[in-house]
Amino acid sequence: MVDIMSNSVVEGTSPEPWPQLEWEPQVWMPTSGWGVDADFGSGHLPYKSAVPPNIAALTPEPSTEATQAAEAAVQELGRFDAELGARVIGFAPVLLRSEAASSSQIENLTASARAIFSAELGAKGSHNAELIAANTRAMQAAIDLSDSLSPFAITEMHRVLMNDQTRHTPGQWRREAVWIGTRSNSPLGAEFVAPHHDRVPALIDDVIDFTARRDIPALTSTSIAHAQFETIHPFTDGNGRTGRAFAQALLRRRGVTRNVAVPVSAGLLADVGGYHRALTAYREGDVSPIILAFAEASLRAVANSRELVADIDEIKDGWKQRLTVRRSSAAWALLEVIAERPVIDSATAASALGVKQPNVYPALQVLTDAGILKSKAEHRTGPFWRSDEVLGAIDRFAERAGRRERS
């Protein structure tokens, strides 16, 4: 047993085993008995929904392999975070967007770096890019709320993520059944049916209490809290993306990452099937696979992120060779802005440099003449300037993230 208030294991007791899901009977009322996809008959149909255990007072006992992997991953995450040091301001935005894009790609939402950055500026050419841009905002909200994690914080992450999708009640716990399976019109025969919606608030309170403990190692706590969140499935949509944003907030709160959102989702993306199997194993009472999945994903993410940082450093060195204007020119200051945001408009550039918008055009022209930027008129939003070199580096990061290495 665990004393939640003191966050310590009570002397003389042993950790409780991690319980499997239980199930409870439910009744499904088909909306219609007619049509090609209708359920047979018109009466109430039985099915079962999950009943997750309360975990706030449980102490996980992962395998030695999972424990050691988690410890190694935490050390590597902290080392990478510290390596960036004073340069974190320049790389944090790119890494945050890379995490958001990878988390979205797990849900089969893909878009080029150019489309995502353009969507952040208001371009409407790609619906997927707009969704990924919303996920970036949700990730940022998660980090901003990491010091005060609560049920409200989770609903706020979801509200930011789903703000433009009102049919999914952004920022509100679901009031209907949700399930994972091939049928969209019925939970009958589903692979997994989430808990009844009346259970959601108490289950979320419980997982928040679990994350408040300090007797459980940081990555172990984060992995289990994420798996429990995905089991609760508290929203009608956006649970995976919100759950991975929640994980980033937990890593920040526990001090594993202090400056950047290391794109752990990019590591999970290398083996999405393994990630889903680990969630299933968690629901069957085995915590080790999800801890291993997060640990291995963290190590892959750090290696991939180091390569991205090196690529952008090399690009910036090349820019400095090509830019020949005097050092007092605003064009030099604009180079750092472009490395953070490789698609910009004049308003963004002016705001970043702290100058009036008309005064930024000469610097944009200098960088265009030097071949560092390219300009393109966007429908209804005016001209955008982009760095194909930085966008290419981010797209290569995404390609590496989705490539599973043979072992």
Written as one letter, the residue type at 120 is: E
Answer yes or no: do 316 and 289 share one domain.
Answer: no
Written as one letter, the residue type at 279 is: L
Written as one letter, the residue type at 245 is: A
Q: Is residue 407 part of a domain?
A: no
Answer yes or no: do 163 and 234 share one domain.
Answer: yes
> pLDDT tens, 188-215?
889 999 999 999 999 999 999 999 999 9
Answer yes or no: do 241 and 345 share one domain.
Answer: no
Look up the domain containing 185 and give its range. Answer: 2-304
Which of 204, 201, 226, 242 is CA-nearest to residue 279? 226
Which of 274, 304, 334 is the endpoint of a domain?
Answer: 304
pLDDT of residue 59: 96
Answer yes or no: do 270 and 376 share one domain.
Answer: no
CA distances from 112 to 116, 191, 196, 218, 348 (A): 6, 32, 38, 33, 20
Answer yes or no: do 197 and 265 share one domain.
Answer: yes
Q: Is residue 358 part of a domain?
A: yes
115 and 124 Cβ atoms separated by less than 8 Å:
no
- Total domains present in the chain: 2
18 and 286 Cβ atoms separated by less than 8 Å:
yes
- What CATH number is attached to the domain comprising 93? 1.10.3290.10
Indicate the SS3 state at residue 388: helix
DSSP state of 407: -
Answer yes or no: do 252 and 351 share one domain.
Answer: no
> pLDDT tens, 6-43?
343 334 344 457 999 999 999 988 765 444 444 444 55
Answer yes or no: do 27 and 173 share one domain.
Answer: yes
- What CATH number is attached to the domain comprising 392? 1.10.10.10
Q: What is the pTM of this model?
A: 0.88
Listed range (29-43, 86-100, 111-125) with the worst mean pLDDT: 29-43
Answer yes or no: do 291 and 349 share one domain.
Answer: no
Q: Does residue 48 surpass a pLDDT of 90?
A: yes
Reported as a pLDDT band with limits 50, 70 and 90, residue 3 is very low
Q: How many CA atoms lie within 13 A of 391 on its CB side?
A: 18
pLDDT of residue 184: 76
What does the block give as tokens for 407?
A: 């072992």
Task: Tell me how far apart the alpha carbons of residues 164 and 171 are, in angstroms, rounded to a whole number.
Answer: 12
Answer yes or no: do 92 and 238 share one domain.
Answer: yes
Burial zone of 134 (CB within 10 Å; 0-12 exposed, 13-18 middle, 19+ buried): buried
pLDDT of residue 381: 67
Answer yes or no: do 91 and 29 share one domain.
Answer: yes
Answer yes or no: do 342 and 386 share one domain.
Answer: yes
Answer yes or no: do 265 and 387 share one domain.
Answer: no
